[in-house]
Amino acid sequence: MKRITAFSLVLLFILTSCGSSKKQLEKGNYAMALDKAVKQLRRNRNDSKQISILDRSYKILNDQDNERIRFLKMEARPENWDEIYQLNKAMSDRQAYVRTVLPLELHGRTIDYPYVDYLPEMVAAKRKSADFYYAHGNELMETKLKENYRQAFYEFLRAKEYVGNYEGIDDKIEEARYLGISRALISLNNRSIIRFDSEFEEELLSINLPALNSEWVEYHIYDPGNQTAFDYFVNVNIRNVMVSPDQTMQKDTVVKKDVEDGFTYQLDSRGNVMKDSLGNDIKTVKYKTLQCALIETIQSKSCMISGDIEIIQGKSGKLEKKDPIGAESGFEWISARALGDIQALSPAQIEKTKTKAVPFPSDMEMIFRCSEALKQAINNAIRSNKRFII
């Protein structure tokens, strides 16, 4: 039973493969039909249906490629040589692939295609394609346009990939790369009446620049001083810094608590101690009320920094985008003292009484507390506006 099942699976696989390659042929997917036929013929070289599919697909593909090459040559456009090279390479690879199952026999005739040496045509087309890319790259460089420098970079790379012996090709690649990069300088401008120290400003601009950079955009927080021409300026403007005065608020709470305070005997109407069913005296628990005043002192102070981020074009000075930024920090400290019977307080309230008042942070300390939130706001604003720096 197992042998029959295994045979059935193999037969099903063969029939499915055959049908699949035939279906691809009928759809005009000749490359896929050829690939499936070759794979099947490696398993069974006598499969006449697959041989027929291979023969037809191979001839159609080569006819299509040769016709396309003829058209491209008649057009006589220098940029066509890369496609001519790719088409010849495709036919060379296809020939090598099909030869892995040749020769084949189909209805008494031998299927074996004559070998075609595509290498001379490939080498010539590759050289002419490289010449075009090299010349086109030089033409693009002469336009002195940023987008053309970038395209020239890729043209020179292709020229080097195809034919690596052009004089000065590496220098041209490096120059096109350098000129094609857009550089943006991020600067902090304090427009507020509060003076910041250098440590605070450095903290605000401690930005992860590699995470911002892209293939053609570089961000800087310092001017290298080598006459670098910046294409964009990202101005982080701090316009307002508001620090509240030290604020102290007192909150008084009277806490009452009933606790047991001995007992009394329960008397009857004649003044005698009452007994329970077991003959024991009946007692009633006495309570007394403890009272304590909890005096909480709440110290608070706040800081708010606001400003904006401007993205400005380097050459024209045009304002591309302006977004608000801001951050807040707060200080709050609660201390407490008790007046009265402390046993009236809950454990949490007793803990509060162990906390003493502390000195208020200075204005600069409050500003420094804003630095992390402000730095995050700056990062978010730059990231959300990266599309304006191209």
pLDDT for 260 equals 87
pLDDT in tens, 325-378: 999 999 999 999 999 999 999 999 999 999 999 999 999 999 999 999 999 999
> Distance between CA 234 and CA 312 in Å, rounded?
7
CA distance 287 to 273: 20
Average pLDDT over residues 29-49: 94
Q: Quickly state the pLDDT bin for 13 (edges 50, 70, 90).
A: very low
Q: 58-62, 101-105, 164-168, 223-227: lowest mean pLDDT where?
A: 223-227
Give me the pLDDT at residue 197, please: 85
State the pLDDT at residue 102.
95
Distance of CA 177 to the CA centre of its chain: 24
pLDDT of res. 273: 82
Residue 224 has pLDDT above 80, yes or no: no
pLDDT-wise least confident of 89-103, 197-211, 297-311: 197-211
Q: Give Rg (Cα) of the chain.
A: 43
Confidence label for 293 from pLDDT (cuts 50, 70 and 90) = very high
Average pLDDT of the segment spanning 295-307: 96
State which CATH number among 1.10.287, 1.10.10, 1.10.3470, 1.25.40 fits the domain covering 14-116: 1.25.40
Contacts of 374 (CB under 8 A, 6+ apart): 204, 305, 325, 326, 327
**What is the C-alpha separation between 275 and 268, in angstroms, rounded?**
10
Q: Both tokens of residue 388?
A: 């304006």
Neighbours of 245 (CB within 10 A): 8
Q: Is the model more confident about 332 or about 223?
A: 332
| Average pLDDT estimate for 264-291 | 87
Cα separations (Å) of 178 from 30, 185, 352? 45, 16, 64
Per-residue pLDDT at 261 exceeds 80: yes
Residue 108 parent element (H or E): none
Question: For the purposes of burial, counting CB atoms within 10 Å of the CB of 98, is it exposed (0-12), middle (13-18) or buried (19 or more)?
Answer: buried
Report, as an integer, the average pLDDT of 48-65: 96
Mean pLDDT of the chain: 91
Measured distance CA(358)–CA(110) in Å, rounded: 100
pLDDT of residue 14: 47
When pLDDT is averaged across residues 288-310 and rounded to a whole number, the result is: 96
In 3D, which of 136, 325, 180, 175 has the Cα closest to residue 240?
325
Average pLDDT on 174-183 reads: 97
pLDDT, one tens digit per residue, over 82-137 is: 999 999 999 999 999 999 999 999 988 999 999 999 999 999 999 999 999 999 99
What confidence category does residue 214 fall into, taking pLDDT thresholds of 50, 70 and 90? very high
Q: What is the mean pLDDT of residues 284-310?
A: 94
Calculate mean pLDDT across residues 166-171.
93
- At residue 19 the predicted structure's pLDDT band, cuts being 50, 70 and 90, is low
State the average pLDDT over residues 150-166: 95
Mean pLDDT for the stretch of residues 172-191 = 96
Residue-level pLDDT at 264: 87
CA distances from 192 to 236, 240, 304, 381 (A): 12, 5, 12, 20
Long-range Cβ pairs for the range 275-278 (8 Å, 24+):
none
The full DSSP string for 35-48 is: HHHHHHHHH-TT-H
- pLDDT above 70 as % of the chain: 95
